[in-house]
Amino acid sequence: MVKYRALAIITKYWMPGEDYLEEIVRNIRGRVANGDFVVVSEKAIATALNNLVDESKIEPSANATFIVKFWIRIIWGYVLGHLCRFSLKLLQNLRNYPLEEGGRHKQVALQYAGFFQALMFGSEGGIDGSNLPYSYVSLPLKDAQRLAEKVRAEILSKLGKKVFVMISDTDKTYSFRNFHFTPRPKPMKGIYSLGGVITYVVGRFFRLKRRATPLAVAGCRMFPEQALQIAEFANRVRGSGAGRTVWDMAEKFGTGLTDVSWKMLKTVKHKPIIIVRRVQI
């Protein structure tokens, strides 16, 4: 029987322009062994690559405003949220979804992810504002597999360690027996991106098994089930940093939704890298 053991690597907050390859190698030196899985957060890499959008510069369209006023506040706040068994706190946040900031966010979702993804209440197409300051959101990586291969090659070159590299996202993949699907785009091969709000609601309503989503694996061929186990294990060990949502983040720092600063985020323990090791028992 195989089980896993994990080591969370605490690093500084990766700012835009950060050399994430150097950060990974420096922080796992002396800690990683051949055959380990090095699981890296998509958000951390996206931030380092400056794959960000400043929503304060976005002008919301009529469609974006309609989505906020009707779809988010009413449909999510009073119907879909109940079907998905959201907490009362989250339902209240949705019913009071901010018009101005929310309209800008939905406009970004429409532009970068499309209409059906914009109907999600959050993390539309992998777009995420948690653990980012002010009005910034990160966009999903378009080339996660290439980046995973790049990280693996750098570790082999600098440390001489043959590891497997995974890039993962907190957005959930749902499983029905051996069929795995997710609302977010571009998961690893074997997980199906069905896209949009219906996938999310179905997964939540039927209480299907849900786990963090592996986007790419470099160094080996892996069945989706094993990749999902490792991604979820790493996700639980990593935690949520400054908060799972922008509401949680603002509450943690006692600020408005768009008032969290880079300085505030640097005070939080960040764990963008998790080393996962197989243990035979």
In the structure, how many helices (H) and strands (E) does the chain have?
12, 9
Specify whether the backbone of 221 is left (phi greater than 0), alpha (psi in -120 to 50) or beta.
Answer: beta
Whether the CA torsion 146, 152, 157, 158 is positive or negative: it is positive
Q: Among residues 135, 130, 148, which one has the least CA distance to residue 104?
A: 135
Tell me, what's the pLDDT at 2? 74
Write down the mean pLDDT value for the chain: 96
Note the pLDDT tens digit of each residue in 59-80: 999 999 999 999 999 999 999 9
User: What pLDDT, in 10s, does the model give residues 99-109?
Assistant: 999 999 999 99
Domains of the chain: 2-52+143-280 (3.30.1330.100), 56-138 (no CATH)
- Amino acid 275 reads I
Q: If you average pLDDT over residues 114-141, what whole number do you get?
A: 96
Across 109-259, the runs of DSSP E, i.e. the strands, are 136-138, 164-176, 179-182, 192-193, 209-218
Position 1 pLDDT exceeds 70? no
pLDDT band of 196, cuts 50, 70, 90: confident
- pLDDT for residue 202 is more than 90: yes
